[in-house]
Amino acid sequence: ANFSEQVVESFPADISTGIYYGWACVGNGDVHKMVLSVGWNPFYKNIKKSVETHIIHTFKDDFYGEILSIVIIGYIRSEKNFSSSEALISAIQEDIEEAKRQLDLPEHLKLKEDNFFHLPEGKPVNH
């Protein structure tokens, strides 16, 4: 799930590029573990900074146009380039496993229940 350029530009300017972990919620759905990439994706030679969320869950349907709420809990590693797509995929799999381990810690699990994830019904939300 990629955030729009407008959302990326509103991120704090001093947030370090790299890989983070935390919690994500689509609309008023369940809260799931996630890994977040903030940066330039050097392997793909992006010219614009991006923020990409990998929700560790399999969804039945697309959720284009839904509100994606995230809470960033911790930092895994800095952004780096890879020699091959296989090396990139392997690193992503390691990042996912690290996120799962971290988010299973009691101090991180409790944040899954935060009221932040429960949008008030019928209220407009700023995008």
Q: pLDDT value at position 49?
A: 83
9 is an active site residue: no
Q: Which pTM value belongs to this model?
A: 0.85
Tens of pLDDT along 105-124?
A: 999 999 998 888 876 665 44
Structural domain tally of the chain?
1
User: Does any domain span residue 60?
Assistant: yes
CATH number, position 99: 2.40.30.30
Reference 98, options 59, 54, 63, 67; nearest CA is: 54
User: Does any domain span residue 14?
Assistant: yes
DSSP 2: B
Q: Dihedral angle at the C-alpha atoms of 35, 126, 48, 17, nearest 10 degrees?
A: -40
Tens of pLDDT along 39-60?
A: 887 666 667 888 899 999 998 8
Tens of pLDDT along 60-95?
A: 888 888 889 999 999 999 988 888 989 989 999 999
User: Does any domain span residue 122?
Assistant: no
Reference 100, options 90, 113, 109, 91; nearest CA is: 109
- The residue range of the domain holding 79 is 5-117
User: Does any domain span residue 61?
Assistant: yes
Q: pLDDT value at position 60?
A: 86
Annotated active-site residue in 52, 66, 98, 113? 52
Contact of 25 with 1, CB cutoff 8 Å: no
User: Does any domain span residue 123?
Assistant: no
User: Does any domain span residue 47?
Assistant: yes
